[in-house]
Amino acid sequence: MSAKPDPEDELAGTEQPFVEHLIELRDRLIRAMVAIGIGFALLCVWPTPGGLYDWLALPMSQALPGGTKLIATGTFAPFMVPLKITLMGGLLLALPYVLYQVWAFVAPGLYSHEKRFVLPLVVSSTVLFFAGVAFCYFLVLPAMSKFIVAFAPSSIQVAPDIEQYFGTVLTLFLVFGIAFEVPIAVVVLASLGIVSVEKLKEWRGYFAVAAIVVAAIVTPPDVISQLALFVPLVVLYELGIWTAVLLRRGRDDREAGADPSA
């Protein structure tokens, strides 16, 4: 005899067959791919792949001596590199919708209090990722480009290859976008009770050492980009702890208000 579902369990009886989950997953993946395709098409119309290429090349172009341009050593590089950049731009443009599809897929299996937690999490993750990309483009890339050009001996003509340059740029975008998710990770760990806020405070020194190691590994071998990643990681870790403390106080106040004996 099968056990009766818990009458207090709001998810009881909402289970779907495995095949239906696969069908829904397929449909949401298709919608996400269509959104990326639409973003790609929009960027092809404006600012066009060439315009997007020029925009991303601007930090290095401004740092190079007058008249010097980036070079293309590959036969198809002048065509493929702007196309790859546009495709990545389409993904970034569609990222909020893609994350919404992820949330919509997992939402039926979540409780009401979990749904209230996930949606702000998705929104804040998107905002912080774009903040990391913007920080990299407007602050890190110009400083890094000027450092590289200024450090080169006078006998060397600095003319970076576009494939290597844009590979570095896209890697840095990803690194800084993920790095800016540190407050989210800290808040989730504290909110789920996996790690206490007190432990997170005790681990400040260990996190700083880990941040130095990560910055040295994932960034180019120049002190500018390494410091530009290390400092935000430490600051964002502190921001995550501060946010977790505020959320805990708010939760304690609500529980105290709901307690009739309080």
Q: How far apart are CA 90 and CA 44, in angstroms?
A: 9
pLDDT of res. 254: 66
CA distance to 143, 196, 229, 242, per residue, from 63 (Å): 9, 46, 21, 38
Look at the block and give the residue holding tokens 């790095």.
179
pLDDT of res. 1: 41
Q: How far apart are CA 183 and CA 189, in angstroms?
A: 10
Give the residue ranges of the chain where pLDDT is below 50: 1-5, 7, 13, 262
Enumerate residues 6+ apart whose C-beta is below 8 A from 28: 101, 102, 104, 105
pLDDT of res. 223: 86
pLDDT of res. 4: 45
Distance of CA 96 to the CA centre of its chain: 11
Look at the block and give the residue holding tokens 């008249």.
67
pLDDT of res. 12: 52
Enumerate residues 6+ apart whose C-beta is below 8 A from 25: 105
pLDDT of res. 3: 45
pLDDT of res. 18: 72
pLDDT of res. 31: 95
CA distance to 26, 123, 153, per residue, from 33 (Å): 10, 20, 46
The residues spanned by each domain of the chain are 18-150+160-252
Of 178, 160, 162, 151, nearest in space to 232 by CA: 178
